[in-house]
């Protein structure tokens, strides 16, 4: 991202912040700040610790290769969450920014993968927090039907969502969704006209079994099929092979 674009975004952000302050009213902002008083400092420190933990978790998804330092990642994290807070409705404006900021070190593909994985981990953490809060509510609130019924329902929903995030991929949740798509009449007709032309098995390590497969198909491509050499992802834990790095860093 060029300096001009960064400066333009800074100006736009400052203008939006000024607009928000004007709409709220400077007097009201000052009154609220005065009401908070000295508690502002521990609140700020608490958020600082939370964002530091978030930053450390995000850096773990980047691997051990070329990546930004902790404090640079911290700044990107805080900026991304700030954009999320001001994005209307979807609360996801910070993710494209984080991908663009991280691509300088990881390349677009690895940056997008890291941001998506971190977002999934963050969502799982929120589900676990809600799960804990609901369990505490069941233990501490009065055991009346009006209280227990909604709490049990919410507990079942949150538990199901957490279980889906934790085990859905390992049990083939994505594959089942794709299988349902394949049963759609229109998509089925398209798939029948596609012929696989190249197959390449992907192995996490050179001595490990294949974990996935890459398939290139062409519409009406005939019956010829080529099986290419295996694609090895890692040469050591957390260290990509040269071919994997070149593929992940492609624009």
**Total number of domains in the chain:** 2
Q: What does the alpha-carbon distance between residue 50 and residue 74 come to, in Å, rounded to a whole number?
A: 11
Tell whether 21 is covered by a domain: yes
Residues 205, 161 within the same domain: no
Tell whether 116 is covered by a domain: yes
Residues 201, 87 within the same domain: no
- Which range of residues forms the domain containing residue 105? 3-167
Tell whether 151 is covered by a domain: yes
> How many CA within 13 A on the CB side of residue 154?
17
Numbers of helices and strands, H then E, in the chain: 9, 6
Take residue 194 and report the two structure tokens written for it: 């596609």
Residues 20, 122 within the same domain: yes
pLDDT score at 49: 93
Residues 79, 203 within the same domain: no
Tell whether 14 is covered by a domain: yes
Predicted TM-score of the model (pTM):
0.57
Q: What does the alpha-carbon distance between residue 84 and residue 77 come to, in Å, rounded to a whole number?
A: 11
Tell me which of 167, 184, 219 is where a domain ends: 167
Q: What does the alpha-carbon distance between residue 139 and residue 133 come to, in Å, rounded to a whole number?
A: 10
Residues 207, 118 within the same domain: no
pLDDT score at 32: 83
C-alpha closest to that of 121 among 169, 91, 166: 166
Tell me which of 167, 182, 209 is where a domain ends: 167
Residues 156, 207 within the same domain: no
Residues 15, 128 within the same domain: yes
Residues 234, 157 within the same domain: no
Residues 15, 97 within the same domain: yes
> How many CA within 13 A on the CB side of residue 230?
15
| 251 residues of the chain, pLDDT tens digit each | 567 776 777 787 778 778 878 888 888 888 888 888 888 889 889 999 999 999 998 888 887 777 888 999 999 988 888 877 766 555 566 788 888 888 878 877 778 878 877 887 888 888 888 889 999 998 888 888 888 888 899 989 988 887 777 665 555 554 555 455 556 565 555 555 667 778 888 888 888 888 778 888 777 666 677 888 888 988 888 788 888 888 877 66
């Amino acid at each position: 991202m060029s300096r001009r674009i960064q400066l333009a975004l800074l100006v736009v952000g400052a203008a939006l912040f000024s607009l928000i302050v004007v709409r709220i009213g400077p007097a009201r902002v000052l009154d609220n700040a005065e009401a908070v008083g000295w508690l502002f400092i521990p609140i700020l420190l608490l958020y600082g610790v939370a964002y530091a933990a978030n930053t450390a978790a995000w850096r773990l998804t980047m691997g051990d290769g070329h990546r930004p330092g902790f404090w640079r990642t911290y700044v990107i994290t805080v900026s991304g969450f700030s954009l999320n807070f001001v994005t209307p409705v979807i609360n996801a404006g910070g993710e494209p920014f984080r991908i663009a900021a991280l691509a300088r070190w990881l390349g677009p593909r690895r940056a997008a993968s890291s941001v998506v994985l971190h977002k999934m981990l963050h969502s799982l953490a929120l589900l676990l927090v809600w799960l804990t809060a609901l369990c505490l509510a069941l233990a501490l609130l009065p055991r009346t039907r009006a209280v227990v019924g909604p709490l049990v329902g919410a507990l079942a929903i949150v538990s199901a969502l957490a279980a889906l995030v934790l085990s859905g991929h390992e049990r083939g949740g994505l594959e089942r969704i794709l299988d349902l798509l394949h049963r759609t009449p229109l998509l089925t007709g398209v798939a029948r006209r596609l012929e696989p032309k190249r197959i390449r098995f992907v192995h996490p390590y050179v001595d490990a079994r294949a974990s996935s497969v890459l398939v290139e198909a062409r519409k009406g491509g005939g019956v010829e099929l080529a099986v290419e050499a295996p694609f090895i992802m890692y040469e050591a834990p957390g260290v990509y092979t040269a071919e994997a790095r070149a593929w992940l860093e492609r624009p």
